[in-house]
Chains A and B, each alone.
Chain A
């Protein structure tokens, strides 16, 4: 009755597969729906940059054959899925002997580390602020101070990042501006390296956390206000429970449920935003690698990274979904979970 039911897990798993299918298919289909084909478009781009390309038509034909783009569309599609499943995206075009997947794998830990830290921080800080803002018993001075934490909410991460680089890294010279670590330290499990990595991560993390926590705070404030008006919240007061118990077990415990749903839904946006943060900070994660692959026309790496990011996002959402029934005992009863 409680916890995970077979039906629930199956349903969530199907959603998980659907999300991956939808995302990967979009990547496959949309370029082919567009006027012209990917290769012509790429050659067109090249000729824009270079002015003129000799034998453009032959080049297009040979590239098409090279990528199997001359096959019928359904054959291409099945081939594409075979490759996605085997994580086989072919060789990188710009770093030829290296496989696309190898390049992606090198970038993944940096992004995962950066994003996990940033997301956990922004979510927990935001939820705390929002809960306090939506609680009637929060001390007055705190009620006056807390809204100031929302100042940066409206600013996109990367713009804030640019300004942080300019102020903190260039003008004040307090922290390094770009990269994940300096060249002068040896990568490995040694203290100077770890310290170096952490100092490099501060600015990107701060730019994500400061700009995104306000969103969680605002949402949580609204949820907390709703809970404030619930009958069980009133009964908890009448029972003579301590304010902290009412706040945590009756207030936050109920208000956080929709916030967790919002977190699962918002992960896609968060990860999207991180591409730009990595670009601005030249942080060697998947987002930056994606950018480099695109400017160097590295078609295979681009596809590999896009699929990987979709996979990681969908997996995180799936894991959050599996966690949910343990936090909300009603979940298997509700037909509309979101």
Chain B
């Protein structure tokens, strides 16, 4: 029996929800043309099927990806899920269907369009996560470290463990302006909190002094005779500058 393709899936936007879409697709023999979540609900002519997130089904799918495809494939899928790629859900579903058929070697098929899209997107998310390990800047307010980031992808799940490992005794907050989510680390506890808006408060004298010191260091360390703005821009794209201390006012 051919798979039914004239259908769209609506899920709750969580990773588990997406895995349940995969589950549904297999057990109902359906190949949805669109998968979207409540937040980005779109007009479609196809009948929309609501997928209820079921933790057991999600666990099953997650386990099977690791077993039948590979741990690497699971990593790719997870990274893609956090990306801002258009139609990422359908691409992930197609990739997983290929993977179940071909097995662990699917991640080597770099010239295949779906695999290429997945690897490229995962690479993009991974590198943006790394950029934020580098270019994120904390400011201190009464002993609490606060930073604002504006990433294209949802990088907090990849970036925050790095800072938790680095500053185990600190309290800090990283606010993702794009996705309107704050990551809070306090006394070893980690939380993601939806937060509509957030601005950095006025800095106190000590914080201002460290900012001035850092700016001075930044400007002094450059060698005038070697000035190379293009190289700097290549290494540190300008969209990161907005929230970096060295470029503040």
Q: Do A and B associate with each other?
A: no
A residues sitting closer than 8 Å to B (CB atoms) are: none
